[in-house]
Structure 1
């Protein structure tokens, strides 16, 4: 409160306004305004009856009028309206001011309005001010403490890691234990939490753990692809907390400590051999915690969640997400990638490229710059197995892959009957490997000779011997080629030249024939 009497007392003693401002703790503008109003009111000296309250009414009568004739806000209504999405205290003050003026009364200024609301909220609602909206955020994390299971084989202890999800508004929580903190369990925990709550929050606030965030880049962290896929499927967003900033998710951090005391500590001596049995015990204690009455405000976590928050959640999408695992792999020189010691082909054009691999239970998909370039059925069993799509191979590799006795005979049938007999004879008289090697050389001859030439050579070979060989076939083929070329040359030489053709000068031109 402004010390009007002390300001005027120092002023009448000829103290400077700067010194008065420092002494009473008010701004120089306030000091100057009080002195000016006192001079207008004719106050030249102070008397005993001029108290600070009396001077306030004298110098600032408009403030007293507002205090006497202000329009009283309905703070309970303001508190409930503020819980709704997109509603701010500034908007509520504007609506209150319009309502007050329509009633012929004066409204509180915005600063006074916020101060009085904060006092009301602190006194009656144990919240000052409301920072979270219902259904706006779900905070998730792994608890630092663990529980344990008994190993049936050796009787030792196996650690059980505790997942915690909490709504900051209602403090309604979900807790579940897992045998590890890998990506698959991290995603499973989220799905189970969504099903427990019956809906999804607008955003998920997680820690910067590797199962959720690959790289915590400031401002735009790089998310784990499986985690991003889960968020897209359930139509929510992921907002990772800053590294080493637990206040970014204070609700879940507080709940982790509370859960550690109420659940983990309570079950520290509980012995069981089944994770499902342990989670049943966790669920019983979790339900008790969610239904336990608040100490400083009416209701419980479950009551506040059911009455004020559940309706704001995003509806749970069905069916349940069949989540997948994403990995990064390098395409090897044999145009295959290695996943779990199994090999899957990709188009050979991507050799030495890094690709994204999406793994589900039955299917493996390969992506390059968000475009799918390959898809395979998952291979299980003995390590070292290959899943190869012939379309992914270079032409010469595919040619070699197709080089079998059956395929060789099919090729020979496209050439002719004699070639088919020739190929069958090679396969019958020689070992398969030797025969296929010779047949491959024969097929390469197709680049130099016509089909008719190859068929005619095969016919002559079969007439000449019952034990045809590659060398004899090539000799016949080359000999026929030379004969055809020689005959073609003779035919060209025997053609008559048109003497009227201007560029050919014969005997008539030179006068040799008269």
Structure 2
């Protein structure tokens, strides 16, 4: 077994085993799909064979268990990994004046310092590798496509558009195009964007249009298909990879800036632009559904259009070449899933879409993966599903909690009715029970007051029942039935201090403060004033008001 340059993630090892034993792919195809070397594929398959690990067994194992089976002596006799060379960059820079291979090698070494512990190549090896790469420039591979093997997918650079019927705003949309390698059978549709949901939906509808599943899907390295675009090791988006597993298909992305890797769909996009978009250029569409209805009609004409140099058309070629060997669609359609990472909070819940979902309380603080579809939310820890909930569409902040996920103390706590909490409070003292009733009475949901009541009850362990009851009486008397108020009273010893009764209403608090009798006397003296004086005062007030309003002053006496 050849030594492998580096340890792969167990998820990629699982994918290698699936492609070998379930999809029956060759080692070269597996290497292309998993973005590793053929020797690495051979090495892992040899390890699996030596360990007696078959796909039937590995399918049910966790990734930690697979690792323990394959790597009993990890790290021995493995050569150090090297920093990869960007040969395109080397070739491009060499075309500039005064740039030599030695200059580029020095720059490569300096850049390699940031990728420790990987080591850079030495100068001689650097030159040899570049020379070998350069020899392959200009070589064109003529691809031979087997029946039902590959479907190539891409988006058109030229975009159709729809118009808002109300505002007249024009919105560009995307044109998704897929072409089968052997028959050139074409599928096309318009979508809002190239985002993950639209891309997965288009791929699913493409397979349903074909009525079968090819062996390999070859997408471009757009973000919806490849979560980490890379020339050497592109990582398939987890959601797109899950869709591929559902249909049992292999995803091999085309290399970036290598249109020859997907020449079929490049030609298919050009044909779709000429035979579909050009035919629709004089028509106006007010919805995506209306546009796709027109595209579907033109698509049928395109697939029925006779070949220029061959007998038949795309449809007849598909019926005789691709369709007979394509695998049937699964019984259940793939449901789009969204994957997220989250940390379990102290309340043994994680948040997704502003709603809370529970996991077993033993996972508090652990990192979990969330898989959410339109109907279900699943939670995984170390690739093992630990919880599954029906997706909630209730108000934001609402929680979906399974009783078995709670610790036993919390399960009992959640089952208590308010009456039980009040009865327990009354065992401490009548005023404690009354405070508990007041807490429940002022809450929209009585359960939200349990923590306050239990906090007051626990104070009896520290201060004694009598003091807590007295403190509760004081809190009720001052209109502050809260745990903080009771705790402050006990901490400051105010429960032992008699509560001062407020003075009766109307009583003088101080001899220098004038009471109600003083103001009654003043009122009587005002009533005894001369009527003419009162009338004069009233007239002056009315006149002043009228003068301010710009009118004529009329005395109050004249009105009488």
Per the shorter chain, which TM-score range? 0.5 to 0.7
C-alpha deviation, 1:205, in angstroms: 0.6
Task: Give the aligned partner of residue 373 of structure 1.
Answer: 386
In the TM superposition, 1:68-467 aligns within 5 A as 131-217=144-230, 220-332=233-345, 334-389=347-402, 391-392=404-405, 405-408=418-421, 426-428=432-434, 431-433=437-439, 437=452, 442=457
State how far apart, in whole Å, the 1-side matches of 2:266 and 2:376 are: 38
Displacement after TM superposition at 1:176 (Å): 0.7
Q: Would the aligned equivalents of 1:409 and 1:424 in 2 still touch at CA under 8 Å?
A: no
Q: Is the 8 A contact 1:328 1:354 kept in 2?
A: yes
Q: Distance in 1 between matches of 2:454 and 2:341?
A: 42
Length-normalised TM-score, structure 1: 0.55
> Residue 216 of structure 1: CA displacement?
3.1
- Structure 1 CA distance, aligned partners of 2:251 and 2:204? 14
Matching residue of 1:474: none
Q: How much has 1:191 moved relative to structure 2?
A: 1.6
Distance in 2 of aligned mates of 1:429 and 1:407: 14
Q: Distance in 2 between matches of 1:421 and 1:350?
A: 37
1:405–1:427 Cα contact (<8 Å) kept: no
Distance in 2 (CA, whole Å) between partners of 1:157 and 1:408 is: 63
Give the conservation status (yes or no) of the 8 Å contact 2:177–2:265.
yes
Q: Cα deviation per residue 1:278-310 (whole Å; 9 max; x = unaligned)?
A: 111111111111111111222211111111221
Instruction: After TM superposition, give the deviation of residue 261 of structure 1 in Å.
Output: 1.8
Aligned residue for 1:175, secondary structure, equals strand
Q: CA deviation at 1:262?
A: 1.6
Choose 428-437 or 234-243, whichever is displaced more: 428-437
Tell me if structure 2 keeps the 8 A contact 1:423–1:439.
Answer: no
SS of the equivalent of 1:140 reads: strand
Cα distance in 2 for residues equivalent to 1:406 and 1:219: 67
Structure 1 pair 355–301 and aligned structure 2 pair: CA distance change class (3 A): same
How far residue 407 of structure 1 moved from its aligned partner, in angstroms, is 4.3
Query: Aligned equivalents of 1:311 and 1:433: distance in 2?
Result: 73
Q: Does the 8 A contact of 2:182 with 2:321 survive in 1? A: no
**Deviation of residue 441 (structure 1)?**
5.7
Report the alpha carbon displacement of residue 355 of structure 1 after superposing the two structures with TM.
2.5
Q: What is the CA distance between 1:324 and its match in structure 2?
A: 1.9
Distance 1:381 1:430 in 2: 30
Label 1:129 to 1:214 Cα distance change in 2 as closer, same or farther (>3 A).
closer
CA distance in 2, matches of 1:403, 1:441: 17
Q: Which runs of 5 or more residues in structure 2 are unaligned?
A: 1-24, 27-140, 441-448, 467-472, 476-485, 488-560
Maintained 8 Å contact 2:421/2:453: no
- Kindly tell me: are residues 395 and 299 of structure 1, through their superposed partners in 2, closer, same or farther at Cα, counting changes over 3 Å? same
How many residue pairs match? The answer is 326
The residue matched to 2:267 in structure 1 has which SS?
helix
Separation of aligned partners in 2, 1:194 and 1:138: 10
Shift in CA distance, 401/445, structure 1 to aligned 2, threshold 3 Å: farther
> Structure 1's 308 and 327: CA in aligned 2 closer, same or farther, altered over 3 A?
same
CA deviation string 1:69-126 (max 9, x = no partner):
xxxxxxxxxxxxxxxx99xxxxxxxxxxxxxxxxxxxxxxxxxxxxxxxxxxxxxxxx
The Cα of 1:251 is off from its aligned counterpart by 0.4
CA distance in 1, matches of 2:165, 2:210: 34
CA 1:400/1:143 → structure 2, altered by over 3 Å: closer, same or farther?
A: same
Check 1:261–1:241 CA distance in 2 against 1; reply closer, same or farther (3 A cut): same
Q: Deviations over 1:200-244 (max 9, x none)?
A: 101111111121111135555322222112111111111111122
2: CA distance between counterparts of 1:267 and 1:198? 27
* Structure-2 separation of matches of 1:438 and 1:313: 67
Q: In the alignment, is the contact (CA less than 8 A) between 1:216 and 1:222 conserved in 2?
A: yes
Cα distance in structure 1, aligned partners of 2:154 and 2:399? 39
Q: Is the 8 A contact 1:143 1:260 kept in 2?
A: yes
The answer to whether the 8 Å contact 1:408/1:423 transfers is no
Mark the runs of 5 or more structure 1 residues left unpaired by the alignment: 1-84, 87-127, 413-418, 449-453, 459-466, 472-514
C-alpha distance in 1 between matches for 2:430 and 2:388: 38
